[in-house]
Amino acid sequence: MAASPEAPVSSSTEPINRADAALIDSDLPPVRFWLLSVGISLGLLMAMLDTSIIATSLLAIGKEFESLDRINWVVLSYTLAYLGCAVLFARIADVAGRRDAFLAAFVVFLAFSIGCGCAQSLEQLLVCRALQGVGGSGLYSLSMIIWPELAPNHMKQYIAALAGLVVAVAGVLGPVLGGILTQYASWRWVFWINGPIGTVSLAVFYLSWPKEHHLPSIEKRSWKDVDYVGSALLIAAAVLVTFAFQNVARNSHGWQDSGFIAPLAVGGTCWVLLFVWEWFIESRGGGGADRLMAAFPLTLVRNHVYLATLFNTALMGFAFFVALFSMPLRLQVVNGRESLMAGVLLLPMLAGVAAGSFAGGAISRDKNRICETLVAGSCLMVLGTALETTISDSQELDPKALGFLVFIGLGFGISASCSTMIGIVEAPVREHAPAQGITAQMRVLGSSLGIAASSVMLADEVQRQLGGVLTVTQLAAVETRGPAGVTADGGGGGTQDVQHIMDLVRQAYADAFRHDMILAAAVGALGVIAALCSYQRGRVSLLEARKRHAQDELERRRQRGADVASSPSGEIGGSRTEGKRTPGTASAEV
């Protein structure tokens, strides 16, 4: 437990002592903290929910706008915007402040959620979905920043568990809620439901935001300090690579198509240019790197623990969302379950995520066991996905399939809780926001690539097994509606022929699921390797790590204070410190 904050630390040249370096934790009253948590968690839930809630509404939207061939863009437009802006919002929070950045993201998300529900054409819907994704990206990344920062010290290890639980609930609840609203109301309510829930959440967040004297000290920056070039390169790199793989599943030329090769090549080039640019601004000298807030700070890349955790985060997101995306399809097509029941049957996975999230936080509560925890979570992911390859292909649901989902949920929950803590433990104080934002963006990148890979494998399997049996029109209907698409366009001969084709469709989906799980297990094994690379000698407790970061930040701010005092303009880089300390203090955010 951290010591109570001492009196404000003077910015004089006196040496830093242990009292000066004591953690400056948020000291919110419990009621205010939990009210704030309600506002944050509901915002995070809605942002995550809108990545999956639309899945069971696509057919209804496509029919209304008579554009089934372009309906996947309703998902893709949100996902790409959601993926691209996570780190940018983290840096905006360093300039505008945590509260104002979160409120802005909330307003954008709510406004364009209503716009999506009111859209009168597919083009209007796609524009609103993309802008809704921008707001959702801010809600996601800022939740991962604000929640740990404002949690009391004794609650910090549980925030990762709570965040992981919200993410899991959204993933499971999304398709179920979308199906209910589409079936009993209208697909427009999939978007309109964000209005009343979001308004309440926004009000709770705003009213429960702490007074200034309860806030940790956070060094705010000016707009001219934002790394606009790096942010643009990071957005382009992440979005284009994901877009390339999403394209493969939607065209007949597959991996040879220019829609895959061109964005992949440009996206890969942007990754290279990003690191070249970040190296350039860091090596400019004269404090330039300190003035410009790097979009992807190289100090994080040089930290092998953070970098290994980052790769593990992306790989676990990939494996988990492959399972989350493919299992409901299998339950509906192979086992004949309704979409609502398919969502309900994912509850064992949700229970596993919840248990894993809390276990991951508790294991490292007193000692730094992040490496061991990541390895355990990754091994559970490999175990669960590998076991799923052994289930029966029969139309009767194999009960073991639901039990194996628990291992997948446990693995993801444990890994997610560790990755949420890693930014606070390993990153310097001034890089907490981008560290959390990059982690959030890598999880979304991994999950997006996982969904894309699952879509590609399903399309390939359906084409391979049914390409010579069904017409092009029927094949497209099967890819959209499963077995129900066999006779959707008047195809098929007698009842016996239709039944035979439906059996082939079920087998294609069962084989695609097995291939998905093989891929997820292989990716999970790479996650084990990444987790092992996070090992370090001489580890200290999480509390001691935060104390050291606080002490380093105190030293840096004192040095900046001395530079400001000797500068003719009295200011360096336009930075300033806000929080519960007076202007002359050098306290650190933890």
Asked whether the predicted pLDDT for residue 113 surpasses 90, the reply is yes
> What is the mean pLDDT of the segment spanning 379-404?
91
Look up residue 194 and give its two tokens. Answer: 């964000």
Asked whether the predicted pLDDT for residue 1 surpasses 90, the reply is no
Note the pLDDT of residue 211: 77
Note the pLDDT of residue 367: 76
**How far is residue 463's CA from residue 469's CA, in Å, rounded to a whole number?**
10
Burial grade of 322 (CB within 10 A; 0-12, 13-18, 19 or more)? buried
> What is the mean pLDDT of the segment spanning 350-363?
82
Per-residue pLDDT tens over the stretch 123-163: 899 999 999 999 998 998 898 888 887 887 777 767 777 88
Asked whether the predicted pLDDT for residue 513 surpasses 60, the reply is yes
Share of the chain above pLDDT 90, in %: 22
Report the largest interatomic distance among the alpha carbons of the chain, rounded to a whole angstrom. 91
Note the pLDDT of residue 249: 61
Q: Please tell me which residue, 342 or 209, carries the higher pLDDT value.
A: 209
Look up residue 314 and give its two tokens. Answer: 């992306």
> What is the mean pLDDT of the segment spanning 249-260?
68
Most confident of 5-9, 293-297, 465-469, 533-537: 533-537
Asked whether the predicted pLDDT for residue 254 surpasses 80, the reply is no
Outline where 336-431 has alpha helix (H).
339-344, 347-363, 370-388, 399-426
**pLDDT-derived band of residue 560, with 50, 70 and 90 as boundaries?**
low
Asked whether the predicted pLDDT for residue 84 surpasses 60, the reply is yes
**How far is residue 463's CA from residue 505's CA, in Å, rounded to a whole number?**
10
N- to C-terminal Cα separation, the chain: 13
Asked whether the predicted pLDDT for residue 292 surpasses 50, the reply is yes
**How far is residue 339's CA from residue 461's CA, in Å, rounded to a whole number?**
22
Residue type, 206: Y
Note the pLDDT of residue 288: 43
Note the pLDDT of residue 253: 58
Q: Please tell me which residue, 76 or 139, carries the higher pLDDT value.
A: 139
Note the pLDDT of residue 182: 80
Note the pLDDT of residue 532: 94
> What is the mean pLDDT of the segment spanning 470-489?
58
Asked whether the predicted pLDDT for residue 559 surpasses 70, the reply is no
The DSSP code for 256 is G
**How far is residue 580's CA from residue 370's CA, in Å, rounded to a whole number?**
31
Per-residue pLDDT tens over the stretch 196-210: 999 999 999 999 888
Asked whether the predicted pLDDT for residue 192 surpasses 80, the reply is yes
pTM of the model as a whole: 0.78
Asked whether the predicted pLDDT for residue 217 surpasses 70, the reply is no
Other Cβ atoms closer than 10 A to 529? 14
Most confident of 253-262, 338-347, 363-372, 531-540: 531-540
Lowest mean pLDDT among 264-273, 384-393, 412-421, 426-435: 426-435
> What is the mean pLDDT of the segment spanning 282-293?
61
Q: Please tell me which residue, 493 or 4, carries the higher pLDDT value.
A: 493
Lowest mean pLDDT among 35-49, 91-105, 419-433: 419-433
Asked whether the predicted pLDDT for residue 576 surpasses 60, the reply is no
**How far is residue 370's CA from residue 363's CA, in Å, rounded to a whole number?**
8
Note the pLDDT of residue 177: 85
Note the pLDDT of residue 204: 93
Note the pLDDT of residue 356: 86
The DSSP code for 85 is T
Mean pLDDT estimate for the chain: 78
437 closest CA partner among 269, 240, 236, 297 = 297
